Structure 1
Amino acid sequence: MTGAPTPSPALARQQFRLRPPPLPEPRGPLSAAVTARLRGTDAGSTPLPVPSPDNRSPYGDDLQLALYILYELHYQGFHDVPDSLEWDSGLLACRGAMEEVFLGALRRDVPIDDAETAEQALDELQLEPVGDDGTGVSYFLRDEGTLDHVRAYAAARSLYHLKEADPHAWVIPRLHGRAKAAMVAVEFDEFGGGRADEIHAQLFADLMEDLRLDTTYGHYVDAAPAEMLATVNLMSLFGLHRALRAALVGHFAAVEVTSSPGSRRLAEAMRRVGAGPAAVRFYTEHVTADAVHEQVVRHDVVGGLLEGEPHLDADVVFGIHATTHLENRLADRLLTAWREGATGLRGDWPTASERRRSA
Structure 2
Amino acid sequence: MKLPTPRGPVSEALINALTRAPHAISAGDPSDADDLHLALFVCYELHYRGWDGVDDAWEWEPGLLGVRAALEALFEADLRTLGVPVAVKDVPHALIDLTREAGGPSLSGYIRGRATREQFREFAAHRSVYHLREADPHTFAIPRLSGPAKAALLEIQIDEYGGGVLNRMHQELFKSTMTALNLDTTYGAYVDLVPAATLANNNLMSLFGLHRRWRGALLGHLAAYEMTSTGPNRNYGNGLRRLGGSEAATRFYDEHVEADAVHEQIAAFDMCGSFATAEPELAADVLFGARCVLTLDDRWASDVLAAWSAGESSLRAAL
* Counterpart in the other structure of 1:156: 126
Percent identity, aligned pairs only?
46
Q: Secondary structure at the match of 1:127?
A: helix
Summarize the alignment of residues 122-133 of structure 1 with structure 2, pairs less than 5 Å apart.
122-127=95-100
Query: How many residue pairs were aligned?
Result: 318
* Counterpart in the other structure of 2:12: 32
**1:162-190 Cα deviation digits (max 9, x unpaired):** 00000000011111100001101110110
TM-score by length of 1: 0.85
Distance 2:265 2:179 in 1: 32
* Counterpart in the other structure of 1:95: 68
* Counterpart in the other structure of 2:167: 197
Task: Please tell me the residue identity of whatever aligns with 2:2.
Answer: P
Task: Please tell me the residue identity of whatever aligns with 1:229.
Answer: L
Q: Secondary structure at the match of 1:84?
A: helix
- Displacement over 4 Å in runs of 4+: none
**2:188 corresponds to 1:214:** no
Please report the RMSD computed on the Cα atoms of aligned residues, expressed in angstroms: 1.9
Distance 2:129 2:23 in 1: 29
Q: Secondary structure at the match of 2:141?
A: helix
8 Å Cα contact 1:50-1:98 kept in structure 2:
no
Shift of the alpha carbon at 1:298?
A: 1.0
8 Å Cα contact 1:146-1:273 kept in structure 2:
yes
Shift of the alpha carbon at 1:134?
A: 8.3
* Counterpart in the other structure of 2:202: 232
Summarize the alignment of residues 1-359 of structure 1 with structure 2, pairs less than 5 Å apart.
21-40=1-20, 44=23, 47-51=25-29, 57=32, 60-108=33-81, 110-114=82-86, 118-127=91-100, 135-347=105-317, 349-350=318-319
8 Å Cα contact 1:125-1:257 kept in structure 2:
no
Distance 2:66 2:99 in 1: 39
Task: Please tell me the residue identity of whatever aligns with 1:114.
Answer: V
Shift of the alpha carbon at 1:32?
A: 0.2
Q: Could you list the runs of 5+ residues in structure 1 that have no partner in the other structure?
A: 1-20, 351-359
Distance 1:23 1:173 in 2: 30
* Counterpart in the other structure of 1:356: none
TM-score by length of 2: 0.95
8 Å Cα contact 2:98-2:291 kept in structure 1:
no
Q: Residues 302 and 346 from structure 1, CA distance in 2 versus in 1: closer, same or farther, beyond 3 angstroms?
A: same
Q: Residues 134 and 70 from structure 1, CA distance in 2 versus in 1: closer, same or farther, beyond 3 angstroms?
A: closer
Q: Secondary structure at the match of 2:12?
A: helix
Distance 2:175 2:98 in 1: 28
